[in-house]
Amino acid sequence: MSHEPQTWTDERSNWPTVTTAEEVVATFQVTSATISKYDSWRADKSRAQVVELVSSHTTVELYRLTLDDVRRVCGSTSHALADASREDAERVPKARDWYPRFAFTHLMHHYLEQQKELPTWQKISRFFFRSDEGVDLIGRETRELVARIVQDGVTEQLADRALQWRFGNAYYSFCVKCSRLWRCARKGLTCACTHWPTLCSVWTDGWMTRSSVFGSPMKTSGVIRASNPPAGRNAPAISLPMHWCRSGTSTSN
């Protein structure tokens, strides 16, 4: 398989403005293990809709986000967790351990690119459960899960709160990641269009050459690891400057 990287860069600011799925493949399909994982993922007929959406995804709008966009969403979004709690999720294992066909982050990146905006919780939840596309992607699957949970004797209210906890935390994690990647992009770091563990066997929020930036909502410092270290040796870890990945909205360097 041969793909040519297709990331364009703004000549004035020297940071990427477009990242395609082809570039992700070209960057990380460099070992037999990642190639095998990628080929298996594409061949899985049960994931055909996922493969189609993820493989056609192009990141543009993420690079266009501004500090004002982030602040506007923070100031206008409703509470994504509502009255849900971790205890609610723990009481409903089927909700706590649920992995939908589409990863939450895939769908939120898809919304960002299609609607050209960082969504408030009101808008993303309306997309998931009231739009034809959102219902097809995850809304119907969610309601079917609620029905199965209720059959186990759990109240519908508790099932809804348990899933609210899952969706709400995914939304907040996505907003933190967008803020983090916004900062990194302005330091010249190419940003991945989504998490790609199923696509490339590399869990990465962004990269520079073939070094991945591993991000976690719980670890805002981030870590760079080489994607193809010498055989039998551990990949070197390099801490990013804390302010590159901090989830706040300060404009300091």
Q: For position 191, what pLDDT does the model report?
A: 54
Q: What are phi and psi of 222, to 5 degrees?
A: 75, 160
If you ran DSSP here, which 8-state letter would residue 97 be given? T
Q: For position 13, what pLDDT does the model report?
A: 47
Separation CA 169–CA 79 (nearest Å) = 10
Alpha helices in the chain (DSSP H): 21-28, 32-43, 48-55, 61-64, 67-76, 86-90, 93-96, 104-115, 121-130, 132-134, 140-151, 156-185, 197-200, 242-245
Output the CA torsion 4→7→11→15 (10° steps): -140
pLDDT in tens, the chain (253 residues): 333 444 444 433 445 578 888 877 777 777 787 788 888 888 989 889 988 888 888 888 888 888 788 889 989 999 999 999 999 999 999 999 999 999 898 899 999 999 999 999 999 999 999 999 999 999 999 999 999 999 999 999 999 999 999 999 999 988 888 887 777 666 666 555 444 433 444 455 666 555 555 444 333 233 334 444 433 333 333 334 434 333 333 333 3
If you ran DSSP here, which 8-state letter would residue 201 be given? S
Number of Cβ atoms within 10 Å of the Cβ of 82: 13
Q: For position 17, what pLDDT does the model report?
A: 75
Q: For position 31, what pLDDT does the model report?
A: 75
